[in-house]
Structure 1
Amino acid sequence: MTEKGRELADMMERRKVDILCVQETRWKGSKARSIGAGFKLFYYGVNNKRNGVGVVLKEEFVRNVLEVKRVSDRVMSLKLEIEGVMLNVVSGYAPQVGCELEEKEKFWSELDEVMESIPTGERVVIGADFNGHVGEGNRGDEEVMGKFGVKERNLEGQMVVDFAKRMDMAVVNTYFQKREEHRVTYKSGGSAAR
């Protein structure tokens, strides 16, 4: 973890990122530890071969952490008070397309529970890998998403849109047009995933 953690801290410092949600960490345990360059990682994982979620904070915000909820190796949240504002940061990692429906439903149930436990009036940011495509355009879903999604909507993408509607939230990355290289989330050899 030391090498990857330091790489992550260096990237955050370079890009001036103070709070970062990470998924598929594959780090086993329920801990908080310094990763260098003035950043601390709060994480949870039960198996070092799959899943795992975390939130990385700039050290100056660590004293603002009021609560850490480690729900599962797919969902965790941190509550911070920053300048009198309550901010809840939720990190999530949805099951991939090939996973069983039961596993997907468990993830969405855990995420719903975390969201419902947050008092009205507190701010919430979700940084998650939802493993779905919400699709291009937003016909009928303008209240929760922009028109710059990718590909056709799949079942997992529909689950994201339904969640956004239930929680009165938005799929923010669909409101901005991105260059092609910024739309690719995974690249290996000649193939790329979006």
Structure 2
Amino acid sequence: MHDKDDSNRPERRSALIALELYRLDIDIAALSEVRFSEEGNLQEHGAGYTLFWPGRPATEGNHSGVGLMIKTSIASTLESLPTGHSDSIMSLRLPLKNKEYATILSVYAPTLQAKSEEKDRFYSELRHVLRRTPPADKMIILGDFNARVGQDADTWRGVLVRHGVGNCNDNGRLLLEICMELQLVITNTVFQLKTTWMHPRSRHWHLMDYILYRQRDLRDVLHTRVMPSAECHTDHRLVRFRIRIRPKPITRKGGPPRKKYNHSRLQSDEVKAVFQASLQNKFKKRQ
């Protein structure tokens, strides 16, 4: 999600974004152009989300920046805080059921006009992070890649599927190459989607925001779709991604353990009668 010129926007955009994510029931959102200095986090108590960001030192200014906004209930299950690898790449390792994990990245790639050195540095950092990810982890990369990947599914088999959009540009080729190298699929092309960003001068719509996933785990993906109704004061449309994974259950701290009941015994008329009589006696004593 990105800034856009809007003199009426609220002072705390993070609060607005959190409320919108709550309305749409989004568990984890990747944000771009957060523009906060230093590393930090901020809780939006009203909506129940926590924003994490890496940031640059205050002396360097803030030209890009990424972040992750996570339901606070999910953030409380993390074994470690999200990691900022640069102001353009941030990751978290989410514990799942059965001792599995999902590594989730929020990224913001250089624009088409950026210098080639800046693009090379970004993709070198991204490769480094992805290669260090444990091979057994589910891997989800979310973000604005400032790239058009086109629709040549024959050349980029396994990376692009049948619903690519438009033509490929130089940034798109860089993205396709790293996906081919690391066996990632661009899930936007698995489903027929709307575009995500409109060029301010040409007024043409393009697909620029992508969600990448391991090809071997593609069966986990339920859908990737664009949410035109989401209003977070951004000039990009929100892309929603649903997968078939289960986060680690939240462990209650303190208090007695929950009692377990054998409900199947209530199928016996005799047991059911005794249970109903017991309940009635308890209610009479409280009156």
**What is the TM-score with the length of structure 2 in the denominator?**
0.62
Query: 1:39-188 counterparts in 2 under 5 A?
Result: 39-46=49-56, 49-67=62-80, 68-83=82-97, 84-178=99-193, 182-186=194-198, 188=200
Gaps of 5+ in 1: none
1:38 to 25, 48, 63: 48
Flag the structure with larger Rg. 2
Q: Give 1:31 deviation, angstroms.
A: 0.7
**Runs of 4+ displaced beyond 4 Å:** 187-190
Residues 190, 153 of structure 1: alpha-carbon distance in 2 compared, 3 angstrom cutoff: closer
Distance 2:11 2:94 in 1: 25
Q: Which amino acid aligns with 2:35?
A: R
- Which structure shows the bigger proportion of residues in strand conformation? 1
Distance 2:184 2:11 in 1: 35
1:7 to 5, 12, 16: 16
Q: Give 1:65 deviation, angstroms.
A: 1.8
Q: Is the 8 A contact 1:64 1:82 kept in 2?
A: no
Gaps of 5+ in 2: 1-9, 207-287
- Structure 1 vs Structure 2 CA RMSD: 1.9
Distance 1:189 1:134 in 2: 21
Q: Which amino acid aligns with 1:24?
A: E
Q: Give 1:38 deviation, angstroms.
A: 0.2
Q: Is the 8 A contact 1:133 1:149 kept in 2?
A: no
Q: Alpha-carbon deviations, 1:70-110, whole Å to 9, x = none?
A: 11111110112132321111011110000000000100011
Distance 2:149 2:199 in 1: 20
Answer with 16-25 or 94-103: which moved more.
Answer: 16-25
Residues 184, 123 of structure 1: alpha-carbon distance in 2 compared, 3 angstrom cutoff: closer
Q: Give 1:112 deviation, angstroms.
A: 0.7
Q: State the SS of the aligned residue for 1:89.
A: strand
Q: Alpha-carbon deviations, 1:41-89, whole Å to 9, x = none?
A: 1112225542001111101111222232211111110112132321111
Answer with 82-91 or 42-51: which moved more.
Answer: 42-51
Distance 1:165 1:25 in 2: 29
1:20 corresponding residue in structure 2: 29
Residues 153, 106 of structure 1: alpha-carbon distance in 2 compared, 3 angstrom cutoff: same
Give me the identity figure in percent.
26
